[in-house]
Structure 1
Amino acid sequence: MGAGPVGLAAAAHLVDRGLEPLVLEAGPAAGTAVREWAHVRLFSPWAEVTDPAAEKLLAPIGWTRPDATTYPTGGDWAERYLQPLADALGDRVRYGATVTGVARAGRDRIVDAGRDRQPFTVHVRSADGREERIAARAVIDASGTWSQPGPLGADGLPALGEATAADHISYRVPDLRDARVRARYAGRRTAVVGSGASAFTALAALADLAEEEPGTHAVWILRRDLTGSTYGGGEADRLPARGALGLRAKAAVEGGRASAVTAFRTQAVERDADRLVLVAEDGRRLDPVDEVIVLTGLRPELAFLSEVRLGLDERLEAPVALAPLIDPNVHSCGTVRPHGVRELSHPEKDLYLVGMKSYGRAPTFLALTGYEQVRSIAAALAGDHEAAERVELTLPETGVCGGAGLYDTPEAADGDGGCCGAPGTLRIGGAGTGC
C-alpha cells in the first residue's frame, strides 16, 4: 500500500526475489504525497534516496541516476526516480486505489481458528467509487503519515474551535513562491505552532517575507520553555542543513521579525471578527492573529487495519520491538540502528508497517532505513531467513537524512552540506520535516 519511495522499493525487492507485488496507490501518480512538497529540497543527496533493487529494475529501461552528490527537490525525486520506477513496474502499480480495510478472509479480529492459513482480503475503492476485494499472501503497508497531521490542541485532540476556524489554519509549511499562498501571509500576523524543523522552516520563510512585505510578523508558539536546545544543534548539529534551519529561526526571533511565546498549550481558538485568538490551558490569551500554521507532527492512519492484529507501542504507535529504538526522547536520525523483519513483525503473520508509518508518531525516519526494512521483509517472504536477519546497511553516527529542507538556490544545495559532511554555511528557506 503506497507508491512512495518505500512502497515502490518493497515492490522492487519482491520482484528481485521472484515474488509478484501489487502496489495500491490512492493518488493519481507515483509519489503523490511527495509531490505535495515538490518545492522542497531534500537534506540528502541522490546517493542516499535511491534503492539498489529499484536501480536494478530501472537499468534495462535506460535510467541513469542523477549526480549522486547533488540534492533533489521533492519534485525531482518524484519525476526523475519514483515515477520511472513505477513505470518500470508496469501494471503491478494501480493508481486511484484507496485501501479501506484489511482482514483475514472469513476471520474477523477475534477468530483464532485457521487464521494464519487464510489469505488476507484487502478492501479497495477505486477513484470511480467501485469496490473490490483482493486476496493477498502478505500485506506491506507503506502508506506513510502525510495525510494525518497533528492538531493544534495540546492534548493531542483538536482545540475547541479549531474545526470552525479551518479557513485560517494550515497544517503544512507554506510555499511562499506561490503568489496565492504569499498573499495569504504577506503583511499579516501568523502564529506558527511547533518546535521541529518544519516550524523552523516556516519561521525562516516568514522572516524573509517580513523583509519584503511590511507588517508581516510570525508568532512562534512553543509548548515548552526556551532552552539551549530549542533551536537544535546549530553549528554543532551533525545534520548541517537541520542546524542551519534552527539558526535561521533563532535569528528571526532575535532580529524581531518573529516573537516567541513559551509554555503555551493551546486549548481553544476564538474568533475576533476575521482574526483568531488562541487561548491556553492556563487561561492566557494571545493577541489576535490572521493565520495559524500548525506543525505538530504526523500520525499513522490505523482505522483500516482494525480487523488485523497489530502489536503497537502505546505511545508511538510503532511496532513494539521497534519503538525503543526510535523513541525521539532518546534517539535522533544518527543513533537509530538499521532494523528489519524481526522488529517489524506483528501478531498478524505476514503483515508489516514500513517506512514512515512504521515509526508511528516518531519524527526520526531515514529513507535508507526504509529501504533496508523492505529488503529484509522481501527476503523473509521469499524464505531466505538468513538474509532477512542480516543487516546490509551501515549508517554513520552522523546520520543520513531522509527528510527535507528547501535551499534558497540549487547552487547552494550542490555545495557542501551533506548529512555526513563537515558543517558548512547553508541558506535554508523551505520546508523541513525532521530527519
Structure 2
Amino acid sequence: MDSWKLAVRRYQDILPDADIPRFNFPREKLLAWLRNEACPAVEEYSQRLRFQEYANWPLITLMPGADTPERRLIESLEQGILKCAKTFLQLTKEKLVGKNLEDQNPSREYVSEETVEITAGRTNCVKRTIDKSNDLEIILSQVEYLAQNSDLSLVNSSDYFGPVQEYSKDADGKIVQRGELIIAFNYELDPVGNYMIRCLLERARQWYELLSKARGMIKKAIEATGRPYQQLLDQLEHEWDKLDTDWSECQYLLKSGKKKRLINSAVILTQIYAAFGLKPDLHWLSLSDKLLNQEIESIRNRLTAFLNKETTDRIAHALGDLKDLYGKDEKQTDVVEEAIANGDLVLISKSKEAYWENKKISDQISGRRWELLLLLAKKAKLRACVREHDLFPEGSKSLSAMGTSWSRLNERLPESLWTLVENGVEPRSYILRLDSTQIHIF
C-alpha cells in the first residue's frame, strides 16, 4: 500500500466523519499522526520532480521577473490600481468636486469611550465620550498614498508558510496591526494552503474595494457640479473597466482549475513536512535558508498551538490529492522521478532530457551530442566503449571527428559527470565509468 493511502486510512481511524465533542478532540493523536504517518508520506514525494514543480509553483510563477501569464496579469493589476488612484486624486483636486465631496460626506459621530455602572436592577451610563469620524478623509488619504506610489508589490515570497503581517499608524500615530491578513479573522485565509495566492488576492481586494468606494463618491460629486469634466471621466471609466476586468481575471486564473487545486495540496503538504518532518530536506524550494528557518519555526508553533479538525481535514485531503498528481502516466512518471530522485543518470529519449544528481542538465543537448550521450549510457550498462563506428556508422570524414564530438558534449555536461568518461582501449573511443544500476534510459 502506498504510504499516502496508509496515512489517510490512519487519519480516518483517528477522526471518523462523526462529530467529536471539543473536549474529546484527539489532539495528541493527530500530532503523532502528522509526525509518524503524514510526514513520511510527504517526504517520499518531496524528492520527486512533479511534486517539487507544483509546490514551487507560486514561487516560480508569481514573482517579479517570471515570464508567465499569471505574472503579467498581476503586473497589469498592480499598474491598474496605481493608475486609477492617480486619476481619482486628480479629480478630487478640482475645486468644485472637492467641495461637493466634503458636503456629501460629512463627519459622523460615534461613541469612542463609555463608562457604565451596573447594578442589580439596571445599567447606567456614567460617562460617554463622543468623537467624530470622517470616512471621506480616510478613503482619500489612502487614495493619495496609492497615487504617490510608483510600485505596488502584491506578491511576497515570505507568505509561503503564512501571511506576512502588515502594520499601519492610527490617528494618534500608534503602530497597529492590520486585521486583513490574520488567519483567525479572515475566512479567505485557510489554516494551511497557498498563502501566496490568497494574500496577494487579499491585498488586491483591499485596494479594489477602496477605489470602488472612492469612484462612487467622486462620480456623485462630479454630477452635483453640473460640469462635464468629460475627459477626466472618460479616463476614469476606461481605467476602471480595465482594472475591473483584470481583478476578475486574476481571481479566476489563480484560483480555478484542477491544477490550482493540486498546487494548493502540494503547498499544504510542503508546509506540514517543513513543520513536523525530521530534518526536512527542502533545498529544492525557492526560498533562502534564512527565511526557511524562520518560517518553519513559525508554522510549527502555529499548527501545534491551534491544531483543529479543519486543519487536519485539509491535510488529509491534500494527501488524497497525491493520486491525481501524475494522471494517467503515474506508473511511468513514478519510475522516472524515482530514478531522478536517486541522483542517477536519467535520459528521456522522446524529449531529449537528461538528469544527473537530482538536477536537469540545463544546457540543450541535441543532434550528435545527444547521440553520443545516449551511446555512452547504453554502452556503460554493458561495460563497453563507444567506438567511432558506433557514432559514425557510415564512417567519419576526419580522424578528429570523434574527439570533436566528445569535446562538444563535454561542454554541456556537469563536471561530476564528464570526469567519469575516460578514453577507451581502442583509439578514438570513450567509456562512461558508471555502474549500470545508476543509468536509466526511458
TM-score past 0.5 threshold: no
Structure richer in helix, relative to its length: 2
Question: TM-score scaled to structure 2, two decimals?
Answer: 0.22
Q: Between Structure 1 and Structure 2, whose CA radius of gyration is higher?
A: 2
Structure richer in strand, relative to its length: 1
